C-alpha cells in the first residue's frame, strides 16, 4: 500500500512548538491521539481528547518517567508488518493496536550541556524511550510515519502519508538519532572522561547548503554546519546582501575572520585575504585608516579579495571599500549608512557575524587523506610576555617589539613557509607557501618594494620593520634576506640546531631577535 491513512498517532515531544495545532487537525480528521506526560497535559489543556500511553500498555509511567513507552504494546504497534499474516496474528492474539504516526522530538541534551548543567542533570536528559520509538517507526516506514521535526508537521496534517513521504521522514529520523547519539558520545568522551582523542570520534554535521560548485566548476560542494551550539563564525553569519556564497568565498572568508579575530581586542583592524592567505593587514585610528593601510600593502592581490573587520562597519570604511571590486566583507556588525552604500554593489556579499570567535579557543581541526582523517587540536596558541626571549645582544625597542607581535599574529595565518614584514601596525610584505624560507623572505621583500613603487613612497615599508617567521630559520640565509630588505627586528620560534649561527648573524647585522618558542606551520 502506497498511501496509508493515519488512524492512531502517538505524540511525545520535548519541544511543543506547533504540536497542539497538529493534534487538533488530526483529531478533526478522526485520528485517535495517544500521548505521554507533559505532551498529554498540553493537549488536554487545549481541550483535546487524549489517551495515555499507560492506558495503552496497562502499565503506569514509572521511575520518574524513565519507563513509559518501552513496552510491546507500543513497539509491537510500531514494528508489525501489517501485511504479514504471522505479524497480524500476533497483534490479534495480544490485542496490539497499530500506530500509524509517531511524533517525537528528543530530550534537550545539547541545550542542557550548553547551559553548564551538572552531571546528574545531563544524564537525565539522555532520552531512551524517544529514540527507541523513532527507530522502530523509521524501520517500519513501509507502514508508519515518523516525524522528528516540527517543520514536517504539515506533511502528516492531512491525515495520510505516501510511501515516498514516509521514506524521507525515516531518513531524517535516523539522521536525528545518529546526531543525538553522537552528541552524547562526544560529551562522554571529551567532557565526562576528559579524553583528547576518544576511541571513536563522532563527527556530526547537519543542515547542508548545496553550493554552486567546489574549488573548481567540475567539483560539487556543500556547506554543513556543526550540530549543537556553535562558535560564532562564517557558517552562522547573517548574509545581508550579495550573490550566493561559493566554496572559495566561504573558505577565504573563514581565513579572514580567523585572522581578524587575533585582533578582536586591538584597535580598529582590517584584514584582506586572497586565496586563504592575507595580502594586507593593518591596525589604525579608524577602520577606514586601517583599510587604506592594509590595501596599500598589496593593491594587486586585494582586487577580488575578502575583507574582514574587527569593528562595526561604518560609512567611511564602506565608501573606501567600494573603490575596488571586493568579493566578501565580514564584520561583527554594520551601521545603516554602510549597508545602504553597499546596496549599490549588488554582487558584494556582506556577512555580519555578531561577534568574533576567541582565537585561543580549543577544539579540533580535521582534513581528509586517502583512507582516513588527520585530526589535531586547533592552533589556539597566542603569545604571552613570559614566552618571549631576546637572544641577541641588542634588545628590541618598544615599537619593534609591538611590530614583532603584530607580524607574528599575521604569520600564524599565512601558509607555510611564511614570512611577514610589519611596521607601525601594518604588514609591509607577506611571503606565503614557498618550499623554502629564503624564497618566502625574498618574495615578501619584493612585494613590499612593489607596493612602495605603486604608492610613490620613497622607500619600502620593510625599512625599519620587524619580520616574523612561522618556523625557525634553518640557515642564516633567510635572515640575511630580511636584513637586506631593511628589517631591524626578528621574531621566530627558535629550536634549530643552527640557532647559534643564526643568532651570531643577527648580532653582526645589529638586529634584535626574539624567540617565541612556538611554531605556527599552516599547510
Helix (H) or strand (E) holding 307: strand 305-309
Q: Which of 87, 139, 243, 345 is catalytic?
A: 139
**Which value, to the nearest 10 degrees, does the dihedral of the CA atoms of residues 236, 240, 243, 246 take?**
-20
Cell for 502? Answer: 643564526
Other beta carbons less than 10 A from residue 471's beta carbon: 19
Other beta carbons less than 10 A from residue 450's beta carbon: 15
DSSP-based three-state secondary structure for 147: strand
**Cis peptide leading into residue 417 (ω within 30°):** yes
Other beta carbons less than 10 A from residue 55's beta carbon: 12
User: H helices of 300-397, where?
Assistant: 315-321, 336-342
**Which value, to the nearest 10 degrees, does the dihedral of the CA atoms of residues 241, 245, 251, 252 take?**
-50
Q: Is 226 annotated as catalytic?
A: no
Helix (H) or strand (E) holding 103: strand 101-105
Half-sphere exposure of 209 (CA within 13 A, CB side): 13
**Kind of pairing between the strands at 489-492 and 512-515:** parallel
Q: In what order do the strands lie in the sheet with 277-283?
A: 238-241, 349-352, 326-331, 305-309, 269-274, 277-283
What single DSSP character describes residue 514? E
Helix (H) or strand (E) holding 146: strand 145-147
DSSP-based three-state secondary structure for 432: coil
CB of 109 closer than 8 Å to CB of 180 = yes
How far is the CA of 111 from the CAs of 117, 180, 225, 371, 514, in angstroms? 9, 12, 17, 34, 45
Q: Is 68 annotated as catalytic?
A: no
Q: Which of 7, 172, 275, 345 is catalytic?
A: 275
Chain centre distance of CA 177: 21
Distance, in Å, from the CA atom of 68 to the CA atom of 78, rounded to the nearest integer, reads 15
Contacts 24+ apart (CB under 8 A), 57-61: 61/36, 61/37
User: What positions carry a catalytic annotation?
Assistant: 139, 275
Amino acid at each position: 500500500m502506497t498511501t496509508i491513512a493515519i488512524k492512531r498517532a502517538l505524540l511525545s515531544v520535548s519541544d511543543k512548538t506547533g504540536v497542539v495545532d497538529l493534534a487538533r487537525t488530526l483529531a478533526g480528521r478522526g485520528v485517535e491521539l495517544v500521548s505521554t506526560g507533559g505532551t498529554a497535559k498540553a493537549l488536554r489543556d487545549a481541550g483535546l481528547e487524549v489517551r495515555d500511553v499507560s492506558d495503552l500498555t496497562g502499565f503506569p509511567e514509572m521511575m520518574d518517567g524513565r519507563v513509559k513507552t518501552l513496552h510491546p504494546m507500543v513497539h509491537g504497534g510500531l514494528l508489525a508488518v501489517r501485511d504479514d499474516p504471522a505479524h497480524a496474528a500476533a497483534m490479534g492474539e495480544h490485542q496490539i493496536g497499530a500506530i500509524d504516526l509517531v511524533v517525537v522530538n528528543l530530550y534537550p541534551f545539547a541545550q542542557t550541556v550548553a547551559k553548564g548543567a551538572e552531571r546528574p542533570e545531563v544524564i537525565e536528559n539522555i532520552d531512551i524511550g524517544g529514540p527507541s520509538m523513532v527507530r522502530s517507526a523509521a524501520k517500519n516506514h513501509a507502514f508508519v510515519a515518523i516525524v522528528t521535526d516540527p517543520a514536517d508537521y504539515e506533511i502528516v496534517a492531512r491525515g495520510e502519508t505516501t510511501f515516498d513521504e514516509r521514506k524521507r521522514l525515516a531518513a531524517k529520523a535516523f539522521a536525528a538519532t545518529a546526531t543525538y547519539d553522537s552528541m552524547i558520545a562526544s560529551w562522554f568522551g571529551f567532557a565526562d572522561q576528559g579524553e583528547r582523542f576518544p576511541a571513536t570520534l563522532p563527527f556530526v554535521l547537519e543542515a547542508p547548503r548545496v553550493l554552486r560548485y567546489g574549488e573548481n566548476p567540475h567539483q560539487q560542494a556543500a556547506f554543513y554546519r556543526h550540530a549543537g551550539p556553535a562558535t560564532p563564525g562564517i557558517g552562522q553569519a547573517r548574509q545581508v546582501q550579495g550573490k550566493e556564497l561559493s566554496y572559495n568565498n566561504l573558505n577565504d572568508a573563514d581565513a579572514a575572520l580567523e585572522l581578524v579575530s587575533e585582533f578582536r581586542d586591538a584597535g580598529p583592524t582590517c584584514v584582506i585575504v586572497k586565496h586563504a592567505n592575507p595580502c594586507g593587514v593593518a591596525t589604525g585610528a579608524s577602520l577606514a585608516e586601517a583599510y587604506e593601510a592594509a590595501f596599500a600593502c598589496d593593491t594587486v592581490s586585494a582586487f577580488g579579495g575578502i575583507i574582514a573587520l574587527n569593528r562595526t562597519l561604518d560609512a567611511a570604511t564602506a565608501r573606501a571599500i567600494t573603490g575596488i571590486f571586493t568579493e566578501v566583507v565580514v564584520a561583527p556588525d554594520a551601521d545603516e549608512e554602510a549597508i545602504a552604500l553597499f546596496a549599490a554593489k549588488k554582487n558584494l556579499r556582506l556577512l555580519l557575524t555578531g561577534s568574533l570567535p576567541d582565537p585561543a579557543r580549543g577544539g579540533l581541526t580535521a582534513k581528509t587523506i586517502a583512507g582516513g582523517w588527520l585530526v589535531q587540536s586547533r592552533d589556539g596558541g597566542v603569545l604571552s610576555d613570559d614566552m618571549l626571549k631576546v637572544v641577541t645582544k641588542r634588545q628590541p625597542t618598544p615599537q619593534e617589539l609591538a611590530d614583532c607581535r603584530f607580524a607574528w599574529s599575521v604569520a600564524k595565518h599565512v601558509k607555510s613557509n611564511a614570512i611577514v614584514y610589519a611596521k607601525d601596525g601594518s604588514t609591509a610584505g607577506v611571503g606565503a607557501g614557498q618550499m623554502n624560507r629564503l624564497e618566502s623572505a625574498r618574495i615578501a621583500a619584493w612585494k613590499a618594494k612593489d607596493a612602495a613603487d605603486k604608492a610613490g613612497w620613497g622607500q619600502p615599508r620593510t625599512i625599519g620593520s620587524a619580520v616574523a617567521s612561522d618556523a625557525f630559520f634553518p640557515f642564516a640565509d633567510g635572515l640575511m634576506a630580511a636584513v637586506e630588505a631593511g628589517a631591524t627586528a626578528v621574531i621566530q620560534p627558535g629550536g634549530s640546531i643552527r640557532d647559534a649561527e643564526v643568532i651570531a648573524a643577527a648580532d653582526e647585522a645589529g638586529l634584535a631577535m626574539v624567540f617565541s618558542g612556538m611554531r605556527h606551520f599552516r599547510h
